[in-house]
Amino acid sequence: MRIAILSDVHANREAFDVVLEAARERGTDQLVLLGDLVGYGPDPVYMVEKAADLVDQGALCIMGNHDEAVALNRGDMTENARVASRWTRERLAPVHVDFLARLPLSLQSEDRLYVHASAERPGKWLYIRDVDAADRCLSSSKSRFIFCGHTHIPALYYALPGRRPIHFKPLDNVAVPFSILSRHLVIVGAVGQPRDGNPAACFALVDTERHEVSMIRVPYDHEETARKIAAFGLPAWLGMRLKIGR
C-alpha cells in the first residue's frame, strides 16, 4: 500500500492541488491530512471543503493548531498567525468551522499513529526540533511509526529498543528504508509553507510493501499564492516566506 501524508497546507490552494495530483500519479492508496488545513493562506474555504470531500472518500484527517485556533476563536499565537486566523474565521461559514472543530487530535491506523505536533500531549502543540523532543514523542506511544508535521521541516528519527533516537535528514525524492528493528518518527514537512529553505511543496509517500518513505518535493506557483495573500491584505511576510521557503 502507498500512503500519501500531507501536513500544514495552510490554505495554499496552488500547493495543495499540485501535491494531490503528484500523489495520485504515484498510485496512492490512502491519503492522510495531518492538520493545519487553514491559517496563513488565502483559500481557507476551498481547503476545508476539499478536505471534507476527501474525508468522505476515505481520507484520514486530524486537527492542527491553526485549525483549532480558527474553530475555537483562539488568539494565543504570533501576530501574523493571529491576523490570519481572524481573517480566516470571518470567511468561513458555520459548516466549515464545525468541520474543523470536529477533527480528532490523532488517529491510529494499524501500526501507524498520525498526530499534528507530537504524541506527547497532542493538544499542547509541542514542536519536535531535536532528539530530546523526538524521544519524548516516541515514549508517549507504542506505535511502531509516528507521523507528524507542525515544524514545516522534514526529518526522520530512528529508535532502537532502549536507546535514544537518531536523527536523519532525508534527501528530496529519495526513498529511505525503514529498519525492521527500529521504531520511527517521521516529520513530513509542509505542503503550503515549507521552512527548510526549499519553496517546493513537500509531502511524505510511504510504501508499506517496500518498507520505505520518500519526501516528495513538488514545485508550484507560489507567486500566485503570494499575489492572493497581498490582494486580501494579509501580512506581507506570509507571501514572502513562500518564495524563500522560510
> Is the per-residue pLDDT at 73 higher than 90?
no
Whether pLDDT at 74 is above 90: no
- Whether the per-residue pLDDT at 218 is higher than 90: the answer is yes
Q: Parallel, antiparallel, or unpaired: how do β-strands 155-159 and 60-61 relate?
A: unpaired
pLDDT at 205 (0 to 100): 98
Q: Residue 77: pLDDT band by 50, 70, 90 thresholds?
A: confident
Domain span including residue 75: 2-244
Q: Which whole number is the average pLDDT over 220-226? A: 97
Q: Give the single-character DSSP code of 23.
A: H
**What per-residue confidence (pLDDT) applies to 154?**
98
Whether the per-residue pLDDT at 75 is higher than 80: the answer is no
Mean pLDDT to the nearest integer, 77-81: 91
Confidence at residue 204, expressed as pLDDT on a 0 to 100 scale: 98
Confidence band for 87, pLDDT divided at 50, 70 and 90: very high
CA distance 10 to 109: 24
CA dihedral 103, 246, 31, 98 (to 10 degrees): 20
In this prediction, residues 154-169 reach a mean pLDDT of 94
| Domains identified in the chain, total number | 1
Tell me the three cell numbers of residue 21: 495530483
Q: What is the DSSP letter of 172?
A: B
Question: Measured in whole angstroms, how far is the alpha carbon of residue 149 from the centre of its chain?
Answer: 4
In angstroms, rounded to a whole number, what is the distance separating the alpha carbons of residues 227 and 196? 22
**Mean pLDDT confidence for 137-156:** 97
Q: For the whole model, what pTM was predicted?
A: 0.96
**How far is CA 68 from each of CA 52, 72, 165, 178, rounded to the nearest angstrom?**
16, 6, 30, 32
pLDDT confidence of residue 76: 79
- Write the pLDDT tens digit of every residue in 4-16: 999 999 999 999 9
- 234 has pLDDT over 90: yes
Instruction: Read off the C-alpha cell for 131.
Output: 532528539
- Round to whole Å and give the CA distance between 244 and 198: 7
In the predicted model, what is the mean pLDDT of the chain?
96
Distance in Å from the first CA to the final CA of the chain: 33
CATH of the domain at 13: 3.60.21.10
